[in-house]
Structure 1
């Protein structure tokens, strides 16, 4: 009996450790002890990158976006942000936050100014889960290579949520962002837009595309919201930017 109890304890402990991962989709539910009810803030995290977007619930107006590389080290969350519309001084700077797991689906992240509680929404993955950067776009019938430098467009997907962001980390310039929920099944990729920085009237739109992963790259074809034909190639961010921080879960 003692051996059985010991084994069960180890299994529970191992399960807790495996659950303590930032990978997945999260929603901000508390800020400095107050419930967050007037806005929706969603954070999407993959192995070593995260992005978040925020909108006002009342009228879907865009409030802000932030994201970049991260890793976990003990009870610390270490970030190096590539974009941040709330506080540009955080861009390219390494910041540490205290990480406290409340339970399997809630985590508290705090610094000297703010204490935030995030609730995990989903953690499921599919073949498009990950962080991607655009490296090719067809123009005039010719696929043009796009070299990702400081100016880049990324799209991060996991757990039924997506967010794309265009930014320049060197100049600390933010161009645009949008996101929402998605599905990727049987070669059809569908987006449901829940926020868009340039036009809140795009919220609620559904976009369908054909997709295929070829040699590790995401081929994305269809019609844009403006009716234009698009063919894009997205490459894994970790391969394009190999010096990214690595998680230590």
Structure 2
């Protein structure tokens, strides 16, 4: 049986090894793997990645950060969050992997993990976004940049939001799953939610519009509270 350490280490090696030639990289998009009832999801944008593990009982762990390719089978990760080991935040990881078409396989000792493509990372919202303004009392208020931030990683069909502090390694919450964006309507279906597993399976709908690198987002949160936010593409 894989230990949590092996799962995280496998994920690190998987991501680092395949990140080459970002603009053309076939690894950009969403990927999935299963092991003993646990689902792992890997999201990759041209600059950012995340890996999340969950099962029927709920969210297990997540990690992610920026990446930079250095060769055909090597790369470097800069970890911004890791719920299994917050001491990794701020550290860089080098590793390698075997990649073949729409699947790639990592090997650690006798343990192999095979990832299968979910999407190719295409779409109007695909990329890394950070919340930069929020409405309060009828006024949109800009948020000061800092170590504490909330980001959204989107591929062609998958999303994940993460609230973190990159200086302290603190993790405040995450949620993710599948999404669509059609005719100005952004719809999320939750597949995991670290704060309340009873919300898994819920579908949330928002109004949305994209203007350049700005995304206007309004509707109701998972708790039913009205929200109006501005996200900026990173």
What TM-score bracket applies, with the shorter chain setting the length?
Answer: 0.7 to 0.9
Q: CA separation of 1:113/1:91 partners in 2, compared to 1, >3 Å: closer, same or farther?
A: farther
- The alignment's TM-score, normalised by the length of structure 1, stands at 0.80
- Structure 2 unpaired stretches of 5+: 1-20
Matched, 1:151 2:144: no
Q: Where in structure 1 do 4 or more consecutive aligned residues deviate above 4 Å?
A: 17-20, 110-115
- Out of 27, 36, 40, the residue aligned to residue 32 of structure 2 is 27
Q: Report SS of the residue matched to 1:175.
A: strand
Tell me how many residue pairs correspond in the alignment: 212
Larger CA Rg, structure 1 vs 2: 1
Q: Aligned ranges for residues 208-219 of structure 1 at < 5 Å?
A: 208-219=205-216
CA distance in 2 between partners of 1:54 and 1:138 (Å): 33
1:135-173 residue CA offsets vs partner (Å, 9 max, x unmatched): 000001111111231100000101200000000011010
For residue 114 of structure 1, report the CA deviation from its aligned partner. 6.5
Q: Which residue of 2 aligns with 1:80?
A: 78
- Structure 1 unpaired stretches of 5+: 1-16, 30-35, 238-249
Q: Confirm or deny: 8 A CA contact 1:27 1:42 kept in the other structure.
A: yes
For residue 24 of structure 1, report the CA deviation from its aligned partner. 0.5
- The alignment's TM-score, normalised by the length of structure 2, stands at 0.85
**Superposed CA RMSD:** 2.0
CA distance in 2 between partners of 1:227 and 1:195 (Å): 18
CA distance in 2 between partners of 1:89 and 1:114 (Å): 24
For residue 191 of structure 1, report the CA deviation from its aligned partner. 0.1
Q: Confirm or deny: 8 A CA contact 2:30 2:121 kept in the other structure.
A: no
Matched, 1:207 2:207: no
1:189-215 residue CA offsets vs partner (Å, 9 max, x unmatched): 000000000110010000000100123
CA distance in 2 between partners of 1:195 and 1:154 (Å): 16
Q: CA separation of 1:105/1:155 partners in 2, compared to 1, >3 Å: closer, same or farther?
A: same
Q: Confirm or deny: 8 A CA contact 1:155 1:164 kept in the other structure.
A: yes
